[in-house]
Amino acid sequence: MRLGANVAAIIPAFNEESSIGKVISAIPHWVDDVIVVDNGSTDKTSNVAEQHGATVLSETRRGYGSACLKGIAGLDDPDVVLFMDGDFSDYPEEASLLVDPIIFGRADMVIGSRVMGRCEAGALTPQALLGNWLTCKLMRFFGKARFTDLGPFRAISLPALRRLEMRDPDFGWTVEMQIKAVRDGLDVHEVPVSYRRRIGKSKVSGTVRGVVGAGTKILGTILLGALGGLPSTRASGDEIIIFTRFPEPGKTKTRLIPVLGAEGAADLQRRMAEHVLAEAQDLAARREVSLEVCYEGGNEALLSRWLGSRFSYSEQRAGDLGTRMHTAFKEGFLKGNERVLIIGTDCPGLTDKLLETALEDLREHDVVLGPARDGGYYLIGLKRLCPSLFHDIQWGTHDVLAHTLEVVHRNGLSVKLVELMNDVDRPEDLEAWDRNQKVGHSGLRRLSHSFDSERHAATPAIISVVIPTLNEAHILAATLETVSKSENVEVIIADGGSTDETMEIARAYNVRSLQVPACRAAQMNAGAKEACGDMLLFLHADTRLPRKWANHVRSELDKPRVAGGAFTLKLDENARWCEIIEGLANMRSRRLHMPYGDQAIFIRTDLFHGMGGFAALPIMEDFEFMRRLRKRGCISIVPEPVVTSARRWRESGVWWTTAVNQAVIIGYFLGISPHLLARLYHFKSRRADRREVSRRKSFT
């Protein structure tokens, strides 16, 4: 460990038996983990590395990048990752030159430049010098990336490394890293390092094949980057980071303990945090914004039991408040966010509207601050990193806001102040909490059961079942029978203007109902907006849920890696063609993680709203939604089946329905208007529906 940061070293190696021991021995003692990746050596490289205390991984796919990727997969969550070669050409004892700027927050990635440093005569071959010079010139010309070297001796913070999503398996690795780092706005520095003649022969510049292969790949990577072909992970979003402390009696709100007692002060901290989180979630229900709880005290398991699995969690880093906020902002921007807000939980007047205003103000200003009456601030928002905002500030004093504004103006940044508010830190502040409590606040009411740890453990999470309907009187009662008997479930009928007895049946089952223009996506979005539950399940009116369906939904959505899910499909007929359709649909769901709406899609409420709900499409809204949801986490397919009506296949024809379904998917990918696709999809089913209505009228 160096200066409180964990450091890991990755060394790709191929037939380095004579040098690898020297490399490992020269690595500073403060490097916590040394990983040697054997890339198919035919000598004793692995044995020597193990004897010198390194962790040895094997990567059979040949290639420098493949070995580096294998090493990354074997990391144990360090703060900084150090890369070096295994031929003893680098000077491992100079690692502090690369690592320290990252630890001190001055850089995200540091490259050791052999050109800027002391390079032993003959250490770099003429072809290596020429290739290095030409590559750097091309990177500058095509990608505005100003480098002097492609040196393999480099260090990068783990969040930045993950942000780059490295992929190149061989010679293009270093170029890909540098191009992506510049493109994604990382703070990249070069420092001079020493370089000596390697032990053994170079795998690249030492052979004609290596020179040609490396040159071709490096040039291809540069051109790909210039054309925008390197995969980008940059998102365009907003993030709100909530700084809070786990409400442990005696360790939180200590200045209020003389008045409230240790338990009372901790309870106040808990309720204030819940209030702010409820407001933030109300905002996330209206616009795409990610929420992260950055905590102090406790651990992620305790926080998750208290607040539920709906949030991302990260522990505040060591250091004063400024260091912790700087780190949180840096990691927020490394995720690709354009605007990041940090808020505390001590301000009872904080509302979702104020948070939204702050995010909107960040479109026109570099900094947004929420001034507190005690001279500090309860909110700070940035749209780019500015480390000097958090240096040399006396935190906890009455001059914090004034000093911050001085730094803002000194750096030529534009700033906007939002509403002045009270913090609750001292006994005299308690009146502000009592005055500003929103006893009837819908968001707090909706979330309170999961925020109360004892009640959360005893009471199942509320599931809101949204059923879009349009003239479903003939089947709705049977569907509601499978839903309404479950505990802690609310049912919302989003009707598109039925002219039959659909609404009368809904009222008979005492479920909530609302009228929405006929469009399944709009109906489901409207129902979700009215939902009070922590989880949403979207159910077609002709689909019946299995027994204990609610237990399956809660169990799957409680898993941190699961973004959403659906049930296995079963049709309500026992024909052979039904078995084929079921088999294909269930194979698609499990292999491609693409269940459709007739399988009862379920998802956490906050994630659904954070994604913006279903796209306003007349068709394929479930297909488009699941494609986005797959990027947010795992899609779980519950083995228990839902039973859905085979009416459309039966009345429109099995082969026609199947052909139309596939044609619609192909047309969607070809960019054909969804409205034209909807006309194709409903062409034959509309005639079948008219015949069905006539048949029912004749029967009655």
Q: Does residue 217 register a pLDDT over 90?
A: no
DSSP structure string for 463-507: EEEEEEESS-HHHHHHHHHHHTTSTTEEEEEEES--SSSHHHHHH
Bridge partners of 111?
Answer: 154, 190
Q: Does residue 698 register a pLDDT over 60?
A: no
Which is it for the CA torsion 51, 53, 56, 62, positive or negative? negative
Q: Where are the domains of the chain?
A: 7-226, 237-445, 460-645, 646-700
Q: Which of 276-285, 365-374, 657-666 has the lowest mean pLDDT?
A: 657-666
pLDDT value of position 432: 59
Bridge partners of 379?
Answer: 343, 370
Q: Does residue 583 register a pLDDT over 60?
A: yes
Highest mean pLDDT among 95-99, 371-375, 418-422: 95-99
pLDDT value of position 221: 54
Q: What are phi and psi of 460, to 5 degrees?
A: -65, 150
Q: Does residue 499 register a pLDDT over 70?
A: yes
441: left (phi over 0), alpha (psi -120 to 50) or beta: beta
468: left (phi over 0), alpha (psi -120 to 50) or beta: beta
Q: Which of 100-104, 138-142, 446-450 has the lowest mean pLDDT?
A: 446-450
Per-residue pLDDT reduced to its tens digit, 134-164: 777 777 765 566 788 888 999 999 888 888 8
DSSP structure string for 45-59: HHHHHHHTT-EEEE-
Task: Provide the residue type at 298 as one letter.
Answer: G
The domains spanning 7-226 and 237-445 adopt the same CATH topology? yes
Q: Does residue 664 register a pLDDT over 60?
A: yes
Query: CA-to-CA distance for 554 and 489, rounded, in angstroms?
Result: 11
DSSP structure string for 558-594: TSTTEEEEEEEEEESS--HHHHHHHHHHHHHHHHH--
Angle, helix 654-669 to helix 674-699, in steps of 10 degrees: 150
Q: Which helix (H) or strand (E) holds 303?
A: helix 300-307
If you average pLDDT over residues 583-588, what whole number do you get? 89
Do residues 148 and 115 touch, judged by C-beta distance below 8 A?
A: yes
Closest-CA residue to 609 (of 498, 556, 510, 533): 533
If you average pLDDT over residues 267-290, what whole number do you get? 85
Residues near 700 by Cβ (< 8 Å), separated by ≥ 6? none
Query: CA-to-CA distance for 132 and 113, rounded, in angstroms?
Result: 11
pLDDT value of position 697: 46
If you average pLDDT over residues 434-454, what whole number do you get? 42
Do residues 82 and 31 touch, judged by C-beta distance below 8 A?
A: yes
Q: CA angle, 629 as apex, 626 and 633 as ends, to 5°? A: 130
Given 3.40.50.9100, 3.90.550.10, 3.40.640.10, 3.30.420.10, which CATH number is that of 7-226? 3.90.550.10
Query: In 642-673, which ranges are continuous DSSP H helix?
Result: 647-652, 654-669
pLDDT value of position 122: 81
Mean pLDDT of the chain: 82
pLDDT value of position 649: 77
Q: Does residue 235 register a pLDDT over 60?
A: no
Residue-wise burial string across 52-68, b where 16 or more C-beta atoms lie within 10 A, e elsewhere = bebebbebeeebbbbbb
Three-state secondary-structure class, residue 191: strand
Long-range contacts of 312-317 (CB under 8 A, 24+ apart): 316/243
Q: CA angle, 528 as apex, 526 and 531 as ends, to 5°? A: 115
If you average pLDDT over residues 462-481, what whole number do you get? 92
pLDDT value of position 306: 82
The model's confidence at residue 660, banded by pLDDT at 50, 70 and 90, is confident
DSSP structure string for 372-384: BTTSSEEEEEESS
Q: Does residue 379 register a pLDDT over 90?
A: yes
Per-residue pLDDT reduced to its tens digit, 2-46: 988 899 999 999 999 999 999 999 999 999 999 999 998 999 999
pLDDT value of position 208: 44
The model's confidence at residue 354, banded by pLDDT at 50, 70 and 90, is very high
Angle, helix 442-451 to helix 300-307, in steps of 10 degrees: 130
Query: Token match 């237990």: residue?
Result: 551
Query: CA-to-CA distance for 425 and 434, rounded, in angstroms?
Result: 13
Three-state secondary-structure class, residue 430: helix
The structure tokens listed for 379 are 């909110």
CB-based burial of residue 529 (10 Å sphere; 0-12 exposed, 13-18 middle, 19+ buried)?
middle
pLDDT value of position 458: 45
If you average pLDDT over residues 247-251, what whole number do you get? 86
Query: CA-to-CA distance for 221 and 218, rounded, in angstroms?
Result: 5
If you average pLDDT over residues 636-643, what whole number do you get? 93
Q: Which helix (H) or strand (E) holds 34?
A: strand 33-38
pLDDT value of position 206: 46
pLDDT value of position 337: 80
CATH 3.90.550.10 holds for 460-645 = yes
Query: Token match 């032993």: residue?
Result: 120
What's the 3-state SS for 621-639? HHHHHHHHHHHHCEEEEEE
Give the pTM.
0.41
Residues near 300 by Cβ (< 8 Å), separated by ≥ 6? 313, 315
Q: Does residue 215 register a pLDDT over 80?
A: no
Do residues 468 and 436 touch, judged by C-beta distance below 8 A?
A: no
If you average pLDDT over residues 284-298, what whole number do you get? 85
Per-residue pLDDT reduced to its tens digit, 381-427: 998 888 788 888 888 888 899 999 999 998 888 999 999 988 887 77
Given 3.40.50.720, 3.90.550.10, 1.10.3720.10, 1.10.8.10, which CATH number is that of 237-445? 3.90.550.10
Query: CA-to-CA distance for 46 and 49, rounded, in angstroms?
Result: 5
pLDDT value of position 433: 63
Residues near 75 by Cβ (< 8 Å), separated by ≥ 6? 8, 10, 33, 35, 81, 158
pLDDT value of position 415: 93
Residues near 406 by Cβ (< 8 Å), separated by ≥ 6? none
Query: In 368-414, which ranges are continuous DSSP H helix?
Result: 400-410
Angle, helix 257-284 to helix 300-307, in steps of 10 degrees: 70
The model's confidence at residue 319, banded by pLDDT at 50, 70 and 90, is confident
% of the chain residues with pLDDT over 70: 85
Q: Which helix (H) or strand (E) holds 138?
A: helix 126-143
The structure tokens listed for 264 are 């009372």
- Which is it for strands 535-538 and 463-469: parallel, antiparallel or unpaired? parallel
pLDDT value of position 209: 46
Closest-CA residue to 168 (of 241, 72, 255, 95): 72
